[in-house]
């Protein structure tokens, strides 16, 4: 590609609202331009890099067995009403109407679309598991768009949704995505860390992980233990007022949880204090009957002794020991982190002490004889999920192994999540099992901020002069620069090298502009192509300069060797 004609509008100055390096550099190097707050156009160089990252994502997704599709950004409101998110998602959801006043949304994510597609198209276990993905434009009316494409209102996401027949299958699908994400971010040359996105997984289940590109400008805080490898996002540990009615995921106003009197039920704190154990560190779950209520108690420590103590505390009858699977099927969550759980409204006793699980979870509040109603996971459990980590400080003992933890900031570039049956239930996505009985599909969802990843790469790969692209995502591999294009010898030699490299299939940018050498070099540093070939005064002797953007190291190379040196 010849630079003279290419749209690379480099800038010396940037608008003052560009606070962070990647935002400044992406503007200065002519990769992006802002169209509206949080809405950007990708110019030729920026779009090339975006496509490189997309290609990496696509290759690794395909390798993992996922299938690419493409769905619309416009989604009918009915789907969102069905899942309940039309009301729950709040102002971050961009809504619009067609000429017939029918409601639509511009999709911020696509659980509803993929789940309803699967509901309509797959109805047998023989067709499962399936993992579908797309690389597509998402819309979120972020409260505070900032940092350029890092927090945009329109952005490119790779979103994938897996559908399995059971939770073991989900675990496998999840693992395949988790591994693929490691390959993707490694290939993008990101310094990143996979972190547990909820502290309940300290117990080991791992229901959700975020992939964090380490960076001072990251909005998430990561606690990390180098001794045992434990890492978690503690940003989620912020104290949430359960009665404020704000959805922490979306900042939306939602129907507030309600505090209700439940005199027969002990809070977990009470139970824990009574037993002398730490709340939330769970070994097993017991179901007790207290008068007419059923109470689930999470138990740890000396099991047998505690069982006896609990009987006394509640003056209760032990009904059932719940398995992890049962807890999961009642709460929709992995067991182990809910802490102040009891499930009275979820559980009804039917004949013969058989237990039936109802809707409407109630969870414990830190107020004696009270519980919260209309609790919604993960919205309202964020506090408890990170209860252990909330006040942890640099150098304090790791919750897993007691070694000293350290802190860092991260940019969330990817997120993998075990959804379970939340959406398949809401949307009615079922299949027939081997016995011909109808079952809910078990789902996972997996996102990568493709455009955010580009910015995260720039954030990590730059110096005072500009971007330093890692090879695999660079817009071009080689930048050929004749110092003076008016000099026939230099121009001829540069053109020859350019054409030979093109013939070898190398992506080359040829700076054929009639600019001063200083301007060209400054632009070249800013644009950050990995290898630079400078054709200058020694062109007469058949010598050119080969310079690496990473180290700045340069050496003279004979024209006879230049192509093989680059290859
Ligand atoms: P954040 O915590 O930064 O708001 P999120 O948790 O809301 O992100 P997810 O719903 O997990 O985002 O979406 C999957 C991925 O999409 C994120 O991991 C992130 O890389 C990307 N992403 C989310 N919101 C934005 C945005 N406003 N602009 C660019 N990328 C985004
Ligand atoms: Mg968000
Ligand atoms: Mg997040
Ligand atoms: Mg996320």
Q: What digits encode the pLDDT tens for the residues 513-539?
A: 999 999 999 999 999 999 999 999 999
- Mean pLDDT, the chain, rounded, equals 81
What is the rounded distance in angstroms from the CA atom of residue 267 to the CA atom of residue 369? 7
What is the rounded distance in angstroms from the CA atom of residue 161 to the CA atom of residue 66? 9
What is the Å distance from ligand 2's center to 469 Cα?
Answer: 27
What is the Å distance from ligand 4's center to 198 Cα?
Answer: 11
**Cβ–Cβ < 8 Å for 567, 547:** no
Contacts of 18 (CB under 8 A, 6+ apart): 24, 27, 148
- Asked if ipTM goes beyond 0.90, one says yes
What is the rounded distance in angstroms from the CA atom of residue 439 to the CA atom of residue 390? 39
447 close to ligand 1 (CB < 6 Angstrom): yes
Task: Return contacts of 538-547, CB within 8 angstroms, 24+ apart.
Answer: 539/482, 539/487, 539/489, 539/490, 539/493, 540/489, 542/493, 544/493, 544/497
C-alpha distances out from residue 53 to 43, 187, 323, 475, Å: 15, 9, 43, 10
C-alpha distances out from residue 563 to 470, 471, 480, 503, Å: 20, 17, 12, 11
β-partners of residue 97 are 103
Extract the residue ranges of the chain whose pLDDT is less than 50. 199-206, 236-256, 264-265, 267-268, 279-284, 298-301, 333-361, 363-366, 375-387
Measured in whole angstroms, the distance separating CA 239 from the mean position of its chain's CA atoms is: 22
C-alpha distances out from residue 188 to 136, 142, 213, 469, Å: 19, 26, 11, 10
Q: What is the pLDDT of residue 289?
A: 53
Residue whose Cα lies nearest atom 8 of ligand 1: it is 412
HEC secondary structure over 331-398 = HCCCCCCCCCECCHHHEEECHHHCEEECCCCEEECCCCCEEEECCCCCCCCHHHHCCCCCCCCCCCEC
What is the rounded distance in angstroms from the CA atom of residue 467 to the CA atom of residue 550? 9
Closest C-alpha among 312, 305, 310 to residue 286: 310
Dig out the tokens for 233 from the structure: 């996002």
Backbone CA torsion sign across 170, 173, 178, 179: positive
414 close to ligand 1 (CB < 6 Angstrom): yes
Q: What is the pLDDT of residue 398?
A: 77
154 close to ligand 1 (CB < 6 Angstrom): no
For residue 159, the ligand 1 atom closest to its alpha carbon is: 14
Phi, psi angles (nearest 5°) of residue 369: 65, 20
What is the rounded distance in angstroms from the CA atom of residue 564 to the CA atom of residue 184? 29
Phi, psi angles (nearest 5°) of residue 439: -135, 155
Phi, psi angles (nearest 5°) of residue 287: -105, 125
What is the rounded distance in angstroms from the CA atom of residue 346 to the CA atom of residue 344? 5
β-partners of residue 565 are none
Residue whose Cα lies nearest atom 23 of ligand 1: it is 449
Q: Which helix (H) or strand (E) holds 528?
A: none
152 close to ligand 1 (CB < 6 Angstrom): yes
Q: What b/e readout covers 118-145, taking b as 16+ CB neighbours within 10 angstroms? A: bbeebeebeebbbbbbbbbebbbbbeeb
Residue where the block lists tokens 């609202």: 17
Dig out the tokens for 74 from the structure: 């416009």
β-partners of residue 253 are 246
Task: Return contacts of 75-80, CB within 8 angstroms, 24+ apart.
Answer: 75/104, 75/105, 75/106, 75/107, 75/110, 75/112, 75/113, 76/102, 76/103, 76/104, 77/102, 77/103, 77/104, 77/105, 79/112, 79/113, 79/116, 79/427, 80/105, 80/112
Q: What is the pLDDT of residue 14?
A: 87
* Radius of gyration in angstroms for the set of CA atoms belonging to the chain, rounded to a whole number: 28
What is the rounded distance in angstroms from the CA atom of residue 205 to the CA atom of residue 156? 30
Q: Which helix (H) or strand (E) holds 488?
A: helix 488-503
What is the rounded distance in angstroms from the CA atom of residue 417 to the CA atom of residue 447? 9
53 close to ligand 1 (CB < 6 Angstrom): no
Residue where the block lists tokens 């730490």: 278
What is the Å distance from ligand 3's center to 412 Cα?
Answer: 6
- HSE (CB half, 13 Å, CA atoms) of 220? 28
Residue where the block lists tokens 């996979």: 194
Backbone CA torsion sign across 17, 23, 24, 30: negative
Name the residue of 42, 140, 157 whose CB sits within 8 Å of the most ligand 1 atoms, as the mutation to test its pocket.
157
What is the Å distance from ligand 3's center to 157 Cα?
Answer: 13
Pairing of β 208-214 and β 406-420: antiparallel
415 close to ligand 1 (CB < 6 Angstrom): yes
Q: What is the pLDDT of residue 357?
A: 37
159 close to ligand 1 (CB < 6 Angstrom): no
Name the residue of 94, 412, 413 whose CB sits within 8 Å of the most ligand 1 atoms, as the mutation to test its pocket.
412
Q: What is the pLDDT of residue 373?
A: 55
Q: What is the pLDDT of residue 520?
A: 98
What is the rounded distance in angstroms from the CA atom of residue 42 to the CA atom of residue 451? 10
For residue 219, the ligand 1 atom closest to its alpha carbon is: 3
What is the Å distance from ligand 1's center to 247 Cα?
Answer: 16
Q: What is the pLDDT of residue 3?
A: 98
Its pTM stands at 0.77
Residue where the block lists tokens 């010396």: 12
374: left (phi over 0), alpha (psi -120 to 50) or beta: left
138 close to ligand 1 (CB < 6 Angstrom): no
- In the chain the first and final C-alpha atoms are separated, in Å, by 18
């Amino acid at each position: 590609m010849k630079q003279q004609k290419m749209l690379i509008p480099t800038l010396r100055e940037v608008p003052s609202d560009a606070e962070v390096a990647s935002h400044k550099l992406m503007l200065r190097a002519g990769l992006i331009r802002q169209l509206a707050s949080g809405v950007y156009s990708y110019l030729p160089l920026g779009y090339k890099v975006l496509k490189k990252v997309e290609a990496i994502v696509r290759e690794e997704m395909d390798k993992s067995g996922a299938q690419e599709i493409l769905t619309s950004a416009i989604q009918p409101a009915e789907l969102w009403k069905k899942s309940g998110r039309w009301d729950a998602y709040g102002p971050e959801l961009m809504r619009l109407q067609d000429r017939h006043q029918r409601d639509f949304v511009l999709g911020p994510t696509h659980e509803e679309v993929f789940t309803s597609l699967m509901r309509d198209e797959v109805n047998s276990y023989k067709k499962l598991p399936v993992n579908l993905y797309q690389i597509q434009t998402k819309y979120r009316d972020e409260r505070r768009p900032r940092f350029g494409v890092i927090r945009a209102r329109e952005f490119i996401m790779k979103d994938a949704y897996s559908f399995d027949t059971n939770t073991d299958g989900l675990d496998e699908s999840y693992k395949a995505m988790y591994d693929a994400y490691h390959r993707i971010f490694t290939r993008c040359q990101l310094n990143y860390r996979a972190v547990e996105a909820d502290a309940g997984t300290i117990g080991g289940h791992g229901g959700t992980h975020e992939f964090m590109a380490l960076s001072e400008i990251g909005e998430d805080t990561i606690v990390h233990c180098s001794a045992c490898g434990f890492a978690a996002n503690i940003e989620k540990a912020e104290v949430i007022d359960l009665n404020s009615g704000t959805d922490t995921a979306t900042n939306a106003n939602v129907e507030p949880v309600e505090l209700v009197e439940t005199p027969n039920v002990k809070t977990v704190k009470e139970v824990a204090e009574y037993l002398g154990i730490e709340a939330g560190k769970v070994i097993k779950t017991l179901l007790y009957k207290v008068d007419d209520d059923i109470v689930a108690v999470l138990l740890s420590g000396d099991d047998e002794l505690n069982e006896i103590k609990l009987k006394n505390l509640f003056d209760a009858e032990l009904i059932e020991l719940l398995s992890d699977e049962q807890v999961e099927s009642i709460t929709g969550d992995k067991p182990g982190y809910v802490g102040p759980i009891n499930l009275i409204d979820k559980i009804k006793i039917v004949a013969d002490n058989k237990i039936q699980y109802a809707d409407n979870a109630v969870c414990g509040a830190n107020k004696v004889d009270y519980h919260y109603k209309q609790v919604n996971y993960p919205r309202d459990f964020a506090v408890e999920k990170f209860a252990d980590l909330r006040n942890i400080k640099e150098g304090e003992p790791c919750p897993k192994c007691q070694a000293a933890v350290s802190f860092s900031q991260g940019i969330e570039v990817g997120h993998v999540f075990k959804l379970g049956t939340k959406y398949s239930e809401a949307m009615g996505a079922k299949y027939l099992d081997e016995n011909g009985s109808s079952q809910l599909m078990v789902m996972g969802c997996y996102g990568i901020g493709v455009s955010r990843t580009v910015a995260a790469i720039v954030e990590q790969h730059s110096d005072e002069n500009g971007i330093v692209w890692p090879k695999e995502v660079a817009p071009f591999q080689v930048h050929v620069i004749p110092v003076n294009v008016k000099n026939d010898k230099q121009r001829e030699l540069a053109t020859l090298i350019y054409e030979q490299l093109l013939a070898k299939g190398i992506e080359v940018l040829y700076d054929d502009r009639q600019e001063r050498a200083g301007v060209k070099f400054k632009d070249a540093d800013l644009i950050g192509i990995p290898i630079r070939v400078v054709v200058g005064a020694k062109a007469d002797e058949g010598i050119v300069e080969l310079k690496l953007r990473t180290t700045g190291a340069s050496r003279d190379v004979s024209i006879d060797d230049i192509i093989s040196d680059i290859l």
